Homo-oligomer: A and B are copies of this chain.
Amino acid sequence: METSSLVIAVDAMGGDYAPDSVIAGVKLAEQQHPDIRFLIYGDEPKVRPFIEKYRLDEGRYDFIHTPDYVASDEKPSVAVRSGRKSSLWLAIESVKKGTASAVVSSGNTGALMAFSKLILGTMPGIHRPAIVTILPTRKSECVVLDLGANAECTARNLVEFAIMGEAYCRAVLKREKPTIGLLNIGSEDIKGRDEIRQAAQILKTSPLADEFKGFVESDDIATGAVDVFVTDGFTGNIALKAIEGTARLMASLLKDVAARSLLSKLGFLLALPSLKQLKKRMDPGRYNGAMLVGLKGISIKSHGGADAFGFANALNVAVDTVRHDLVGGIAKQLDGLKFLEEETEK
């Protein structure tokens, strides 16, 4: 094993189609990145057949046999007590030990977050880690967080998310000075919740004041009105799934249209090459790989239903965030949080 290559730890047991889709995804990433290596954690009798099926390059991975794994429906509190020999726990531990630079799992989100917090620890200045992802917009792409780690948030939490989202956007989308918006509702009589208004007040006088563009609404995500959308985990999860559901609905209604008449069928056949490009652009797999930001290490959540293409994209996110030293980048931005210590809760 060459010591100079970047190593990604992989939990082969997490996700609806594991270990098949996980190992197939590793194979895709192996081809895309000739310079990265994999530490694969999983139950040998279950995983080995797929390693053979997809013919992983023997020089590019190490396999660690872990008979235990965390079920997708296991409560994180239970997993924390009983899952310390699981593939997920040991894969995360390899990041802590420095044998891997990042970990990727399609498994139980709550357990991934709980284990990552316990093993890697939270960055100084961050009260709550968050889940961040990239979504397609009319113009290009944007960053949204939190997607479900924190159902309820204080103003301080939201400000932390803004700082982490901004750093993520610089690193992954390569934007120089990303604009930031706080997700809110536009109804004239309420204008959102107290914590959102307070967070806006804090951001207006923060080092991010220039980048902060105030309140945005959830239809602004599709237009890409700002680069970074900041919200609590409940609201972010609701928006994300509403977007996914609508995209799937439109796709299936389009299929109905295509089948409606002979002319439609012919028409869609002619437009097929262009439609395929559209499908590729909107493919959820393309946006798979949500980082748990705010931890002292890189932990990436892949969608439970991810296929090989999706899992490979989550591995890409891991590679990108390691190469751009996202943890270091966020730590640097966190200096900007110091002004908060005097203003809000310690």
Interface residues of A (CB under 8 A from B): 72-76, 108-111, 113-114, 136-138, 148-152, 183, 185-190, 192-193, 217-223, 233-235, 237-239, 241-250, 252-254, 256-258, 260-261, 263-264, 266-275, 277-278, 281-282
Q: Is the CB of B151 within 8 A of A233?
A: no
A interface secondary structure, majority? helix
Smallest CB–CB gap between A79 and chain B, Å?
Answer: 9
* A248 (CB) vs chain B CBs: closest residue: B222
- For A281, the chain B residues whose CB sits under 8 A away are 253
New A-B contacts (12) at CB < 8 Å, excluding given A111-B189, A250-B282, A267-B272:
A110-B190, A150-B190, A151-B190, A186-B237, A219-B248, A221-B242, A239-B242, A253-B282, A256-B278, A257-B271, A257-B277, A267-B269
Q: Is the CB of B233 within 8 A of A185?
A: yes
- For A217, the chain B residues whose CB sits under 8 A away are 237, 241
Contact of A218 among B72, B149, B223, B245 (CB under 8 A): B245
* A219 (CB) vs chain B CBs: closest residue: B245
User: Which has the most chain B C-beta neighbours within 10 Å: A109, A274, A281?
Assistant: A274
Can you sample 16 A-B contacts with CB below 8 Å?
A110-B188, A148-B187, A148-B190, A185-B238, A185-B241, A220-B245, A235-B238, A238-B242, A242-B246, A246-B250, A253-B278, A257-B275, A257-B277, A260-B274, A263-B271, A264-B271
Contact of A238 among B108, B183, B257 (CB under 8 A): B183
Q: Is the CB of A185 within 8 A of B242?
A: no
Q: Is the CB of B110 within 8 A of A189?
A: yes
Contact of A185 among B111, B189, B219, B234 (CB under 8 A): B234
Smallest CB–CB gap between A71 and chain B, Å?
Answer: 10
